[in-house]
Structure 1
Amino acid sequence: MAGATGPAEWARHWQYAELPDLDLLRARYIRHTFPRHSHEGYVFGAVTQGVEDVELPGGTVHAGPGSVVMINPEVPHTARAGVPEGWVYATLYPSAQAVNAIAADMTKLRGTVGFTETSVADPYAARLIGEVHRAAEEGNALAADSVLRVLVTRLLTRHGSVLPAPGPRAAGARDAARARAVLESRMSEPPTLEALATELGTSPFALLRAFKKQYGMPPHTWLTDARVRRARRMLDAGTAPAAAAAAVGFTDQPHLNRHFTRIVGVPPGAYQRERARTYKTGPGVPG
């Protein structure tokens, strides 16, 4: 998709009806940048052209062709182009339940699994990610499910481990968790940082520091991410974007559009159309 000004950005974020615990994204991004956010499930991304820079708590990884990026649930990260021409990639977003079920069935890992590396050079695994996409796009449920299991088993065997169980929470972590619960329950009308800190019996600075330490982002950034997550679930259920925007606390639909597009990678209208097309027509929808 090129024009007089060079290649254009494009993206498709969708779900294959036969694999409901998996989201898929194929895209080319040049100027688009993903702000700090996290996912409820895992991320497996394979770059086929260009370079993607992914900033994680441990540093920035530069993912080029043949590399696979693996991100555990709830790990905050950003993403942007690492070269002027951007990057092209295929990404799988399997749920935590799906990955842990495959781990229990196909590996010796027991418990909640995670990945010890965030970017590895593994052209074969990168090809498998592309094959899952192709099988889903062709409506081949048997192949899509089978290749996904081969991929997850390979990544877990080579780079996976059991995540340690969380220990007792310090006072700051408890305050952060309580603040998160308040923000979730009052998403459409959240308190100020000062009011929130007062309600929890702490100071704004202490709460801000504790929240960033616990969740990798300040409360206002976390809230935007949480609003987009809830809006996604509402769009999946058929809620109109304008109604979803109001329900989660965005000022209007353009406000939702801006943040949703930055975090998810496609506008909410395009996202909902792909979901509706997938659910209505099922497998075999052309890309």
Structure 2
Amino acid sequence: MGDWARYWRAADRPLEAMHAHFEQHVYHRHSHDTYSFGVTETGAQSFTCRGAAHTSSAGMVMAFNPDEPHDGHAADALGFTYRMVHIGPALVGDVLADRAEREVGLPLFAEPVVADATLAGAVAGLHAALVGPATALARDERLAAAVAAITRHARTAPARRLTGAAGIARRVRDRLDEEYTEDLTAADLAAAAGTSRFAVYRAFRDVYGLSPSDYQRQARLRQARRLIGAGCGIAEAAAAAGFADQSHLNRWFTRCYGVTPGAYRDATHPAN
């Protein structure tokens, strides 16, 4: 069958969908700034998340919180087929606005793999409404139903005190977020955190699950993704986001998102 992927992106809100089959593709460790829910249709995908190995086989749902690092690859030579939906936290909050869950904060998922046929059906139904012929009203209804099913498997996000390693990691992240296009050094980050280079690396890995350099690359990818989604040219987006050139962006975009920047652009701007 070979690897293939199809992508859909809403033009007016943080909502995206992907349908793909991968045999050879290996996802580099990355995260999304959205909630990400995937239903495995055939085969099995193996991945690491939260320091442990997991496998999602046919009928299971993968549930990733915003900014939760993970990777992924086929569990065997036959590969796997899955449908993925990415929903922005603000959109989840809007859907939950009239529900009791919203009063205590946005949900977090205790486990990255859930075996629940009802949940799988809700996510698959939302995906079908997004990529197939459906009215705007039907899509909103499927979105509400999927979020309702999803939140039954979640807990409320606890407040985090920024002390110790969390405080160091947050100061480093703030510096990276502000200057992600710059060629920052370990000394720069240590100065921002007020601690040693080793303490910076250890705290950042412990809190965010990525090295500072991986996080910086991810910040660049997210900015390039936003620019491309807004209609910016790929070469222009690569330069603006801090990549050496378009081929560098292409390589990392595909490794982390499973589609090329061109395919992502065409999902929203098919005439380009």
Letter in 2 for 1:254: S
Aligned to 2:127: 133
CA distance in structure 2 between the aligned counterparts of 1:160 and 1:234, rounded to whole angstroms: 32
Verify the 8 A CA contact 1:67 1:121 in the aligned structure 2. Answer: yes
Aligned to 1:151: 146
TM-score, normalising length: structure 1 = 0.87
Once the two structures are TM-superposed, the CA of residue 188 in structure 1 deviates from its matched residue by 2.1
Aligned to 1:239: 232
Verify the 8 A CA contact 2:122 2:149 in the aligned structure 1. Answer: no
Asked whether 1:191 is paired with 2:178, we answer no
Q: Structure 2 vs 1, CA of residues 115 and 132 (structure 1 numbering), >3 Å: closer, same or farther?
A: same
CA distance in structure 2 between the aligned counterparts of 1:223 and 1:235, rounded to whole angstroms: 18
CA distance in structure 2 between the aligned counterparts of 1:179 and 1:24, rounded to whole angstroms: 32
Letter in 1 for 2:212: P
Structure 2 unaligned spans of 5+: none
Asked whether 1:114 is paired with 2:115, we answer no
Report the secondary structure of 2:266's partner residue: helix
Q: Trace 1:71-90 onto structure 2 (pairs within 5 A).
A: 71-90=64-83
Deviations 1:257-284 (A, max 9, x none): 000111111000111111113xx79xxx
Aligned to 1:266: 259
Count residues with an aligned counterpart: 270
Verify the 8 A CA contact 1:28 1:88 in the aligned structure 2. Answer: yes
Verify the 8 A CA contact 2:64 2:112 in the aligned structure 1. Answer: yes
CA distance in structure 2 between the aligned counterparts of 1:81 and 1:184, rounded to whole angstroms: 32
Identity of paired residues, percent? 36
Asked whether 1:57 is paired with 2:71, we answer no
CA distance in structure 2 between the aligned counterparts of 1:175 and 1:118, rounded to whole angstroms: 27
Aligned to 2:244: 251
TM-score, normalising length: structure 2 = 0.92
Asked whether 1:216 is paired with 2:209, we answer yes
The alignment's C-alpha RMSD in Å is 2.0
Deviations 1:129-182 (A, max 9, x none): 22222222213322222122112212212x122111112x22433232222222
Aligned counterpart in structure 2 of residue 228 of structure 1, from 218, 221, 234: 221
CA distance in structure 1 between the aligned counterparts of 2:192 and 2:101, rounded to whole angstroms: 46
Once the two structures are TM-superposed, the CA of residue 67 in structure 1 deviates from its matched residue by 0.6
Once the two structures are TM-superposed, the CA of residue 58 in structure 1 deviates from its matched residue by 4.5
